[in-house]
A and B are shown apart, each in its own frame.
Chain A
Amino acid sequence: MTAAPPAGERRVGSGLLRDLLEQHLESGYLAAARRRAEHPPSAHRQLQRAMRLVVLVALGLLFATTYVQASASAPQAARTRAALANDARTRAALTDRLQRQATAERTRLSAQRAQALRSTAAGSQAAAALQDVEGAAALTAVAGGGLVVTVGDAARSNDPVTGDPDPGDPAAAGRLQDRDVAEIVNALWAAGAEAVSVDGQRLSPTSTIRSAGGAILVDFRPVSSPYEVRAIGNAGLMQVRFTDSATARAFFSFIDLYRITFSVRRVSAITVPAASGTILRYAAPGLRP
């Protein structure tokens, strides 16, 4: 360790940096040592030693406090996020359960109603009409032949450093939007579909396909890529009409253009579930007779 050069030799600027790089020891220690060599030790030694201990206790306190603070604040954010995610999952499970319950009740209701109506000719006619209307209103699950259209986002490359999606990636254009899904659904209706579902969500006449943030919502429930659109109807006719539609042709060209995935399959037996969240707009609970 080189001693600091005498004050006269110092040059401004370079001296400051040299001090920083070469003289790490608090210069006070050297000065104190020189002073001690010249004078006898001061009378306050006991007090100074006590002060040293106080400072060391304070130091330990500072370290511990900082550690406690840092370790307490970091997981706080993670805990909050986990709690929120857990909340969302619990609520989703609850709505699923209620949905299943509602579907079961509805099935029981229509079975009892059919039984009650079957006794008269006019009644069974009404029952048949009701069944058609309920199918159109997406109140009952439907099974039959139809088309399965699968469409998915282009595979994206992530930024190698951050792991986030790379904004400069050309595949960013291959991300499907809500209106892409809506267009396919509309083309299927136009091709003669009688019942349509997106990722297992049955579309009723009042269903919505929207986007919120990065997600596509069908009737306010998120669906994710690849989107499977099922359409029940006259499968042969629908396939011809749909693949010949402007929408389908556009999406076939997007396969090469934007690297999305798109396929149309004809299947002989598929089912689409009943729609969720059918709200009675005009009917109200009546008084029991």
Chain B
Amino acid sequence: MIAAVALVVGLVLGVILRPTVPIWLQPYLPIMVVAALDAVFGGLRASLDGIFDDKVFVISFVSNVAVAAIIVFLGDQLGVGGQLSTGVVVVLGIRIFGNVAAIRRHVFRA
């Protein structure tokens, strides 16, 4: 419950404050969002499984977002940014789907 409130607070803050993103970071925002989604669904599923752990959640979120951005940044420098971001999206997408499927089983028992 408190987690959802924190999330909404962040959303509202972002809409109200409209933080300016440095121009060099802008291309990495979408991939960072996908990585963050992976961490969120992982945490949600873990809490439904009853094994949620704050430390793992925090570290998985920070490292997911950072690694996704770094991989795409490296790819951009090497000239394979598009392919690498596709790779990141595929891997994270599979994980998100798997976790959402597990959450669905928990919630609907189906």
Contact partners of A66 in chain B: CB under 8 A: 29-30, 32-33
Q: Tell whether, in the assembled complex, residue B14 and residue A65 are in contact, meaning their CB atoms are under 8 Å apart.
A: yes
Tell me whether B58 and A55 are in contact (CB under 8 A): yes
> What chain A residues lie within 8 Å of B80 (beta carbons)?
none
Of chain B, the residue at the smallest CB distance from A36 is: B53
Residues of B within 8 A of A (CB): 2-3, 6-15, 18-19, 21, 26, 29-30, 32-33, 36, 39-40, 42, 45-46, 49, 51-62, 65, 91, 94-99, 102
CB distance from B83 to the nearest CB of A (A): 17
Which residue on B lies nearest to A29, using beta carbons? B46
| B residues near A62, Cβ cutoff 8 Å | 10, 14, 29, 32-33, 36, 65
Question: Could you tell me which A residues sit within 8 Å of B by CB distance?
Answer: 1, 20-22, 24-26, 28-33, 36, 45, 48-49, 51-53, 55-70
> Using Cβ atoms and an 8 Å threshold, which residues of chain A touch B98?
21-22, 24
B11/A56 in contact, CB under 8 A: no
Number of A-B contacts (CB under 8 A): 132
Bound complex: CA A65 to CA B6 (Å): 16
Judged by DSSP, the binding face of B is helix
Decide: A20 and B99 in contact? CB cutoff 8 A: no
Residue among B12, B46, B61 making CB contact with A55, cutoff 8 Å:
B61
Q: State the Cβ distance, B27 to closest chain A Cβ, in Å.
A: 10
Q: Which residue of B lies closest to A27 (CB)?
A: B56
A25 partner, pick from B3, B19, B45, B91, beta carbons under 8 A:
B45
- In the complex, residue of chain A having the shortest beta-carbon distance to the beta carbon of B91: A20
A33-B59 Cα distance, complex, nearest whole Å: 15
Can you list 30 A-B contacts (CB < 8 A)?
A: A1-B102, A20-B95, A22-B98, A24-B95, A24-B98, A25-B102, A26-B42, A28-B53, A28-B59, A28-B60, A29-B49, A29-B53, A29-B56, A32-B51, A52-B54, A53-B2, A55-B57, A59-B40, A59-B61, A60-B7, A62-B32, A63-B14, A64-B11, A64-B15, A65-B29, A66-B30, A67-B15, A69-B21, A69-B29, A70-B30
CA distance A256 to B94 in the complex (A): 57
Contact at A52–B15, with CB atoms within 8 Å?
Answer: no
Measured in the bound complex, the distance between the Cα atoms of B19 and A67 in whole Å is: 12
> Most chain-B Cβ atoms within 10 A of its Cβ — which of A26, A31, A45?
A26
User: A60 touches which one: B2, B9, B32 (CB < 8 A)?
Assistant: B9
Complex Cα spacing A20 to B12, Å? 34
Of the candidates A24, A33, A48, A60, the one whose C-beta lies within 8 Å of that of B10 is A60
Query: A26 and B91: CB pair below 8 A?
Result: no
CB A34 to nearest CB in B, in angstroms, measures 9
* Chain B CB within 10 Å, residue with most, of A32, A33, A45, A63: A63
Which of A21, A24, A52, A60 contacts B99, CB < 8 Å?
A: A24
In the complex, are the beta carbons of B18 and A68 less than 8 A apart? yes
> If the complex has contacts A48-B54, A57-B13, are A69 and B33 also in contact, measured as CB distance less than 8 A?
no
Q: How far is the CA of A66 from the CA of B6 in the complex (A)?
A: 18
Tell me whether A59 and B10 are in contact (CB under 8 A): yes
Which 5 pairs across A and B sit closest by C-beta, in order of nearness? A60-B10, A64-B14, A24-B98, A48-B54, A33-B51
| A26-B46, A29-B51, A68-B18 as given contacts; A60 in contact with B102, CB under 8 Å | no
* A residues near B51, Cβ cutoff 8 Å: 29-30, 32-33
